[in-house]
Amino acid sequence: MYVAVKGGEAAIANAHALLADRRRGDRSVPALRLDQIVEQLALGVDRVMSEGSLYDRELAALAIVQARGDMIEAIFLVRAYRTTLPRFGYTKAIDTGAMLVERRVSATYKDLPGGQLLGPTFDYTHRLLDPELAAGRDVAEPQQRASEAEAMPRVSAILAREGLIEPDGDMPQDHVPGDITREPLEFPMARDIRLQALSRGDEGFLLALGYSTQRGYARNHPFVGEVRIGEVELELDVAELPFAVPLGSVRVTECQMVNQFKGSAKAPPQFTRGYGLVFGQSERKAMAMALCDRALRASEFGEDVVAAAQDEEFVISHSDNVQATGFVEHLKLPHYVDFQAELDLVRRMRAEHDARENAGKAEEKREAAE
């Protein structure tokens, strides 16, 4: 039970002023510009866009500045702003097979049609602090070479030609994809709803769950079929036009995990899929999402649900960092009435305990005297 706090308006105003002062910091240091954050802290911007469910780099950068670098607070700001925006319609499903690929790696095949592209990655860095960055050294332009466009079929398509992986499945004609931003969550979920929730789930939470599946808590052995990062085009169907209207492009990261499946009475032994897709460049999040997606399909394949990562209600109900933050931080609100009630209860229980203890000691003394 909460109670109103009186006389706090001036204190709150002063707290806001102090927050603004601390956010600005030393006035002799130039203030951050949004273009600096967009260009030089791009991965942080991508996370805020992805978990905030809004693709706008400048707004994400603004939220990071306003939140003093607190990513979850920035995500909260972006989601709150998102609720004020009008909605004109739904774009067509993006075709990641037609992606303008910047990075593409596979752990299953060395020689892929279209090749592997390392792209911008930390994978092969030594994780040593570079003091020259602090000195503002000039960075050389990357080498570029002309290349012919080459098809990059997915690894899953290669396996599918041999019938070694579960079918991708066609969307039923009458199926309307759900929208978790407009409809309350209901369990059990359709997979498209679940993937939406995972896509904007907290990266750290999903990473921990994905890690748990590798440590024996879901008996799951995955291979990274493919991770690809690049630009995909968005198109919108307009009733008055016989063709889809291109709206622009967005950068996304897609991951397809390939998992072994020993088969069942209904399906032969084959590989199964785990899928991840997020805004921007965030392959760790996309991989964790794909691991969780596959773990949550345990019931679909007749597997025993024995681990937290396989429990749909547990995973989805606790993956949203805005909800989690709100519930944990609400404990800072005044709980005076609740605490006083518990305080009185503990005092009564303590008094009863002391009375029993004193009575026991008195009985022991009488017995000793006799």
User: What is the full DSSP assignment across 337-370?
Assistant: HHHHHHHHHHHHHHHHHHHHHHHHHHHHHHHHH-
Average pLDDT rounded to a whole number, residues 34-43: 97
The pLDDT, as a whole number, for residue 4 is: 59
Q: Output the CA angle 169-173-175, nearest 5 degrees.
A: 85
Place 232 in a pLDDT band, splitting at 50, 70 and 90: very high
Burial label, 157 (beta-carbon count in 10 A; 0-12, 13-18, 19+):
middle
User: Is 151's pLDDT higher than 90?
Assistant: no
119: left (phi over 0), alpha (psi -120 to 50) or beta: left
Backbone φ and ψ of 321, nearest 5° = -75, -25
Radius of gyration of the chain (CA): 27
pLDDT of 312 reads 97
Across residues 105-119, what is the average pLDDT?
A: 92
pLDDT recorded at residue 19: 96
Task: Tell me: pLDDT of 249 over 90.
Answer: yes
Distance CA 112, CA 288 (A): 23
- Structural domain boundaries in the chain: 9-82, 96-121+147-326
CA distance 158 to 154: 7
Question: Residue 147 above 80 pLDDT?
Answer: no
pLDDT in tens, 284-341: 999 999 999 999 999 988 889 999 999 999 999 999 999 999 999 999 988 899 999 9
Mean pLDDT of 275-288: 97
> Which range among 31-35, 83-87, 169-173, 247-251 shows the weakest confidence by mean pLDDT?
169-173
DSSP secondary structure letter of residue 167: -
Alpha helices by DSSP H, listed for the chain, are 9-24, 34-40, 42-52, 57-66, 71-82, 131-134, 155-161, 191-199, 203-214, 283-295, 312-318, 321-329, 336-369
State percent of the chain over pLDDT 70.
97
Residues above pLDDT 90, as percent of the chain: 72
On whether the pTM is more than 0.85, the answer is yes
- Which range among 12-26, 199-213, 216-230, 309-323 shows the weakest confidence by mean pLDDT? 216-230
3-state helix, strand, coil in the chain (%, to 5): 45, 15, 40
86, pLDDT greater than 80: yes
| Least confident span in 108-117, 143-152, 351-360 | 143-152
What pLDDT is recorded for position 5?
Answer: 58
- Residue 3 has a pLDDT of 52
pLDDT at 370 over 90: no
